[in-house]
Amino acid sequence: MANFISVPVKKYGHEDFSDAGDGTTGYNTMGIDVNKIIYAFDTETNLGKAVSAQTDSGDTITITGHGLQVNDAIYFDAECEATNVLANRVYFVKTVPTANTITVSDTLGGSVQNIAADGTSDTPNVFKIEGQIIYADTTNNGRPVDIIVNRGLIRQNHAGDTVQALSQNLLIVDCNEKNGVAYSGTDNNMVINTHRVMLSYDGGSDDWKTFYDASNTNMAGLDSPFVDVLELETSLNSGGTLAKFVNHIGALGGPENFESLTVNGRTVSFPDVSSSGIVRLTCVASAYESESKTYLKIKGMGKNSWDTLVINDTLSNVVGSTDATNIVE
């Protein structure tokens, strides 16, 4: 999966492509560097409208006063057609025959989805959806920009895919807290970039405390003000998820048992959780073994600032928990 992906962009910073000038929702297909994605989310709007009928002839869906335009990304909260318009999957408005009817496609610009039979019993609510990407555009005076895309990123499309299908680096997570503040109550509410996970450990009950590099350069020190602290309810210690952390110690064969972390002279012990943590290789300057424990020198905030992570395992095993192309003993 690529580190450079194509997305239908409605807005890029202050540039707005959403008004095509012909009654359709405009977009500009752009390629973006996955390594520069800091966060991504879905934004959903309940239109306060419901489907009242589906019609075989013309494959139309009736939504009185829908206010939709061609290319709008939408979803229905219940099944609209047994096989072709599924519940909670993203579709795109293909045509707008009238102010009260639309046809949909399962891809942007694709063919009309077939409505196999007339019906009025299915009356799902209708939602508009768009994705938001916080992007480290290095030409924007060092500040990230917002990219609004004409698709869902977290919500599945008709085929069941999400933005995770586009890149190995992108991971949908359930975030409980961000910097000590409760985050959105919905499940699977955030897309993170695994290359920006500096250090993460199981704090107990499979809640993973994560130090996340939100800087434009993706080179922040562990105690930098550009580091967010996330509490993720998503377990990182599962085969499919752990495989996304190829640039981390502890990603191969299971997380390492973190013992302590010393930052600015202060030492904090980790919870007594076996196979508890992973750490990004680019954060590590060097490593040595003493009394069957591994000491990692971790980049801190200052030019000559270094923190120390102690792993309760031998250096040989630590090397073995890391992709062989990335580290040598």
Q: Which helix (H) or strand (E) holds 183?
A: none
Q: What is the pLDDT of residues 42-83, one digit of tens each?
A: 999 999 999 999 999 999 999 999 999 999 999 999 998 878
Angstrom CA distances, 213 to 17, 158, 159, 264, stand at 30, 33, 32, 18
- What residues have CB less than 8 Å from 92, skipping those under 6 apart? 71, 72, 73, 74, 104, 105, 106, 107, 108, 109, 110
- Note the residue count of the chain: 329
What's the pLDDT band for 189 if we cut at 50, 70, 90?
A: very high
Distance CA 203, CA 39 (A): 22
Q: What is the pLDDT of residues 295-308, one digit of tens each?
A: 999 988 655 578 99
Distance CA 63, CA 120 (A): 11
Angstrom CA distances, 262 to 118, 246, 309, 312, stand at 67, 25, 7, 15
What's the pLDDT band for 146 if we cut at 50, 70, 90?
A: very high
Average pLDDT over residues 151-155: 96
10 Å CB burial of residue 317 (0-12, 13-18, 19+) is middle
What pairing do the DSSP bridges indicate for beta strands 277-280 and 175-178? unpaired
Extents of the domains making up the chain: 4-131, 168-320
